[in-house]
A = this chain, B = another copy of it.
Amino acid sequence: MIEQQLPFALRDEEELSVDLIEAQYALKNSKDKNNAKSLVILVSGIELAGKGEAVKQLREWVDPRYLRVKADPPCLFTTKQSFWQPYARHIPSEGQIQIFFGNWYSDLLSTAMHVSKPLDETMFDTYVENMRTFEQDLKNNHVDVIKVWFDLPWKSLQKRLDSMDSSEQRWHKLMGLDWRNKKQYDTVQKLRQRFTDDWYVIDCDDAVARDQQFAQYVLQALKKLPKHKTSVRTKWKQAAVPEALQQPATDELDKDQYKDELKKLTKKVSEALRNDSRNVVITFEGMDAAGKGGAIKRIVKNLDPREYEIYTIAAPEQYELRRPYLWRFWTKLQPEEKISIFDRTWYGRVLVERIEGFAKPAEWQRAYDEINRFEKDLVDNQTVLVKFWLAISKEEQEARFKAREQTPHKRFKITPEDWRNRGHWDEYLNAAADMFERTDTEYAPWHIVATNDKYSARIQVLKAILKQLKAD
């Protein structure tokens, strides 16, 4: 890749403004349509190059109401959250434009410049690679990303520092680095060249050209409203349904033995969860009535409700549908949440959404890799991810549905939709098979637990948690 070029000539400001506004409105009106997208603009550069001024000028040319600007102090990388986590909440909704001054690259630069033990080049490059992959995932999910580096030669920078007035100086000091230090300047330049080869780099010696180059580049991005890819060329290779799903084991556990084991295990599990220095995310998928609720109950048995959070995942809301489908999980998984339990998960994309057609083939087929990367990011940032599929037989499900309909305090658990889903039994098995084949990773393995016998299922779930936490 090379730094992006754009044939550039100064344009009449009013015409440029009209073009920008029209493109902005076309973007805005794409919302909920088949060419909808949002636009993220990452803005970084040398201090005093004038990224602030360029954004301000852009804001004057466009309709400022539909151009959001986010600026945060640099967020140094820790091992507790992925580079995208501080920004996830602000990923724009279809039709919106969001500028990020503070962004994952400026955080990377700050981290590389600031930590006592600096990042080595390999680590730096690995971050850059992950960032690019993340951006590609955003693009595939209709969040376009453009990146602009505002560059300024050393001499011009020094001249601008000389002529700055005091109130402005205060503001610029906030940004952290000492821009009077030539060595530091050179380091920034050297480092940023490790990632700016797919950026649009603007030489900012001339303010008018700078503002126009920036605006014209944004205009070019605004104008692209490509049709969403929905179909795929290659034929889908269906994985074989594992025996564990076809014929879930029916080993029964004696009730007394169950009670004894349960007591010991729930205690052990709560201690293991508490004592693990990492965050723990436990997820459940499986057919209706497979016993997700019952299993969750036993996991939290000895925990205080303040120690964990249960997320029940239903159909997404409209404002969630206007963002990448993983977005509602990005925003839920906060680094400060020690124990999170998910009753249904992001795998809905390749299960219910695939089967019901809410996700098009291109979307769900792409999702396996996206999910793997998402999970890897979590695990790389001190999270243990324990994934369960509760496997029940079709006969046992029917028996449980009927029993629920007979039991007053369980009746609420059964709806016509459950019976309808049951009609898609084989499709769900196939979707689950594909899911295991593609997302059973070393860092986030699947646990398939047979649940025809509830007692044995709960015991197995607890044991699997202990095993994965290495606390067994």
Please give the residue numbers on chain A whose beta carbons come within 8 Å of chain B beta carbons, in ascending order.
14, 17-18, 21-22, 25, 52, 55-56, 59-61, 63-66, 69, 71, 99, 101, 167, 170-171, 270-271, 274-275, 293, 296-297, 300, 304-307, 309-310, 312, 317-319, 343, 408-409, 412-413
Tell me, rounded to whole Å, the shortest Cβ–Cβ distance linking A400 to chain B.
17
Chain B residues within 8 Å of A56, by CB: 300, 304-305
Q: How long is the Cα–Cα vector from A65 to B312 in the complex, in angstroms?
A: 6
**Contact A170:B306 (CB < 8 A) given known A18-B408, A409-B17:** no
Q: How long is the Cα–Cα vector from A305 to B56 in the complex, in angstroms?
A: 6
Q: Is the beta-carbon distance between A409 and B21 smaller than 8 angstroms?
A: yes
Chain B residues within 8 Å of A52, by CB: 304-306
Chain B residues within 8 Å of A309, by CB: 69
Residue of B nearest to A271 (CB): B167
Residue of B nearest to A58 (CB): B305
Tell me, rounded to whole Å, the shortest Cβ–Cβ distance linking A341 to chain B.
10
Chain B residues within 8 Å of A61, by CB: 409
Q: How long is the Cα–Cα vector from A376 to B256 in the complex, in angstroms?
A: 62
Tell me, rounded to whole Å, the shortest Cβ–Cβ distance linking A126 to chain B.
29
Q: Is the beta-carbon distance between A59 and B305 smaller than 8 angstroms?
A: yes
Chain B residues within 8 Å of A60, by CB: 297
Q: Which residue of B59, B71, B171, B305 is within 8 Å of A69 (Cβ)?
A: B305
Q: Is the beta-carbon distance between A101 and B306 smaller than 8 angstroms?
A: yes
Q: How long is the Cα–Cα vector from A409 to B408 in the complex, in angstroms?
A: 64
Chain B residues within 8 Å of A59, by CB: 305
Q: How long is the Cα–Cα vector from A64 to B306 in the complex, in angstroms?
A: 14
Q: How long is the Cα–Cα vector from A270 to B60 in the complex, in angstroms?
A: 18
Q: Is the beta-carbon distance between B274 and A170 smaller than 8 angstroms?
A: yes
**Contact A310:B64 (CB < 8 A) given known A52-B305, A59-B305, A71-B305:** yes
**Contact A304:B21 (CB < 8 A) given known A65-B343, A319-B317:** no
Tell me, rounded to whole Å, the shortest Cβ–Cβ distance linking A219 to chain B.
13
Q: Is the beta-carbon distance between A412 and B63 smaller than 8 angstroms?
A: yes
Residue of B nearest to A412 (CB): B21
Chain B residues within 8 Å of A305, by CB: 52, 55-56, 59, 69, 71, 99, 101
Q: How long is the Cα–Cα vector from A56 to B297 in the complex, in angstroms?
A: 10
Tell me, rounded to whole Å, the shortest Cβ–Cβ distance linking A347 to chain B.
18
Tell me, rounded to whole Å, the shortest Cβ–Cβ distance linking A64 to chain B.
6
Chain B residues within 8 Å of A22, by CB: 412
Chain B residues within 8 Å of A25, by CB: 412
